[in-house]
Amino acid sequence: MHLKEQLYICTIAECGNITKAAEKLFITQPALSLYINNLEKMFGVKLFDRVEKQFIPTAAGKLYVDKAKQMLSLQQEFEASLGDLKNHVDGVLHIGVQLRRAPLLLPTVMARFKMSYPNIRIDVKEGVKTDLEEFLKSNQIQLLLYNAEQPREDLINKILYVDRPLIAIPADHSLNARAVEMPGSHYRYLDLNFCRDEFFILPTARQSLRQYIDKVFLEQHFYTYNKMEIRNFETAIRLVNEGYGLAFNREQYKKSMVDLSNVKYYAFTYGKNEISRVFVGYKKHRELPKYIHYFIQLLSIRGKEIEALDSK
């Protein structure tokens, strides 16, 4: 089963530009333009409005894209389920994961999985939280790896491990003396009110940690104009290491960062907000082949290993 027509239309709608779509599909732009023009002639209706270099779906185009995504999703399920009927089980597993979380979770799990299912191809889509939500909505992924305080109600979820958002401070900063012991916590607590005059290095607005930080700032009536944004967590923490400012990180992310002797970490929330959880989830009422359930089992094992890593 190969739904080339549906894949072409959905890719153009996703990219909004025929040149970018052609690059993603590994075909030439003139060939893709000709294909779409012939398709529109066959249907007798425009699927896209051309506005300068943008391709914007018409009402008919939106209807087509919606149904085509459903067809592509069914194709994924068909390929996966059909694989289980063959003696040598093959198919495709589509996973969505955050950029920074992928190195911590996937290499070990994928290597173990391949030993049992060598003919299963794994398609990994990386991105920030909003990217992953769009991948899930458009049925481009079967499994979503995400962090949240509570599991999503629209998914069937399994918790993998617990993570903690932390504030990173230069080791020689006077703020370190303000941190206090917090009963039941591995980290000392630093009240954000002591940080009002500090320079902050924040994640970008589309990243889940930034959304968590903004929520905490709002709850604690905290705001700062003295800030910059950077997407790469390790770059932000290395800036802290150089004394450039204060930043935020996740406990599990920091375990893979080395040569950062001038960084100290503290909790900046307490109680129920002190931790977040990492989940694997998939859509309800979706039948998954047994090899995907096996992959979820391996993720759970890896999650326990991550929690057991020594904090530094």
Query: In sequence order, what are the residues at sequence separation of 6 or more whose Cβ sits closer than 8 angstroms to the Cβ of residue 218?
Result: none
Tens of pLDDT, residues 14-72 = 999 999 999 989 999 999 999 999 999 999 999 999 998 899 999 999 999 999 988 88
- Confidence tier at 82 by pLDDT (50, 70, 90): low
Tens of pLDDT, residues 244-280 = 999 999 988 887 788 899 999 999 987 655 678 899 9
φ and ψ at residue 224, rounded to 5 degrees: -140, 135
Higher pLDDT, 2 or 236: 236
Residue 311: per-residue pLDDT: 45
Q: In what order do the strands lie in the sheet with 91-98?
A: 120-127, 91-98, 143-148, 276-283, 155-163
Write down the pTM of the prediction.
Answer: 0.60
295 and 91 in contact (C-beta within 8 Å)? no
Residue 235 — left, alpha, or beta (φ > 0 → left; ψ -120 to 50 → alpha)?
Answer: alpha
250 and 135 in contact (C-beta within 8 Å)? no
**What DSSP element (H or E) covers 123?**
strand 120-127
Q: What is the DSSP track for 160-176?
A: EEEE-EEEEEETTSGGG
Domains and CATH numbers, the chain: 3-64 (1.10.10.10), 89-162+276-309 (3.40.190.10), 165-267 (3.40.190.10)
pLDDT for 139 beyond 60: yes
Residue 53: per-residue pLDDT: 87
Both structure tokens of 110:
């994928």
- Confidence tier at 157 by pLDDT (50, 70, 90): very high
- Residue bearing tokens 């012991």: 181
Task: Give start and end residues of each alpha helix (H) in the chain.
Answer: 4-15, 18-25, 29-43, 59-85, 102-116, 129-137, 208-219, 233-241, 251-254, 290-308
